[in-house]
Amino acid sequence: MSHTPIVPREKLNFHLDDADIPRHFIKDDPYRSRFFDALSTMFPVGERFFMECVRDYRSQITDPQVLQDIKDFIRQEGQHTMVHNQYNARLKAHGIDVDMILRKHDAWMFGFQRKRLPKSYTLALTAAAEHLTAISAHALFDNRGVFETADPRVRAMYAWHAIEEVEHRAVAYDVMQKTAKVGYFVRCLAMVEAIVTFLVMIAVISNYMLKCDGYSFMQRLKLRAKGFWWVVKPGGFVSPVLGKILSYFKPGFHPDQTGAMPGCNLWMETYERTRNPVLAGDVLHAAGA
Ligand SMILES: [Fe+2]
Ligand SMILES: [Fe+2]
């Protein structure tokens, strides 16, 4: 199934409860900081949804390698959720009502999608979201400038999450293709929904967070306009990976065509040697700067 080995790593400590992590973890950039903070609040519900949608098909699979890949995928996502919950506790201390965000996200993903839509479609949504998270990994670490002035602990958390997203990027996709036998149209429709949901949620949640930071309507408008330009401008957040995102719509697409994340081996070598994920994140970042 997946050609990239999936290595579950457990109990990583990023020291996310350190009091000296700045309120905006990217220096002098409230918009970008809250952009990634908004992303962090999407993981607890999102990843539980992904795990359940893949589990739906587990009983129909007999190939031991595929079953092992699913197990490792679930172990990785479980750890991601745990660490993002720790991170989100930081956001609560900023006066952000994270529980409200999670409740609304849960109502959408589980109260509506899981309840009302076919399991094959929710699996297609999972495969699409997994492609987007793996591509976000590329957006962050093919271009290290994004996190140039970020707090090393938060940056390291995203580096670890990014590497594991690349490792397990094909699991949901292969179950969707080989077991659920989802067709091309449904696969693409789910990707359109995943992209729209992602954009709307990031915009709404980051705006709410900036409001909690005390920015007025006009100040937020300015910050968001500047932030929007950073997202879409040539050489910005999205344009270097736009081709990779759109490749999902090619009829013969497979996630393993997306290529390796540069610096991945350096991260793994440093982590295996030191068991220090913050140092591994620093080494990864320095190699690409
Ligand atoms: Fe994840
Ligand atoms: Fe994932």
Mean pLDDT of the chain: 94
* Cα 217 to averaged position of ligand 1 atoms, centre (Å): 33
Sorting pLDDT into bands at 50, 70 and 90, what band is 257?
very high
Region 229-234: mean pLDDT is: 92
* Cα 70 to averaged position of ligand 1 atoms, centre (Å): 13
In single-letter form, the type of residue at position 273 comes to: R
- Whether 1 has a pLDDT exceeding 70, the answer reads no
- Whether 137 has a pLDDT exceeding 90, the answer reads no
| Ligand that comes closest to the CA of residue 78 | 1
Supply the pLDDT for residue 2: 45
32-81 tens-digit pLDDT: 999 999 999 999 999 999 999 999 999 999 999 999 999 999 999 999 99
Neighbours of 7 (CB within 10 A): 15
* Cα 78 to averaged position of ligand 2 atoms, centre (Å): 10
Supply the pLDDT for residue 235: 87
Handedness of CA 46, 51, 52, 53 (dihedral sign): positive
* Cα 230 to averaged position of ligand 2 atoms, centre (Å): 25
- Whether 288 has a pLDDT exceeding 80, the answer reads no
Supply the pLDDT for residue 141: 79
139-165 tens-digit pLDDT: 887 777 789 899 999 999 999 999 999
- Whether 3 has a pLDDT exceeding 70, the answer reads no
* Cα 9 to averaged position of ligand 2 atoms, centre (Å): 14
Which residues have C-beta under 5 Å from ligand 1, the single-atom ion?
77, 80
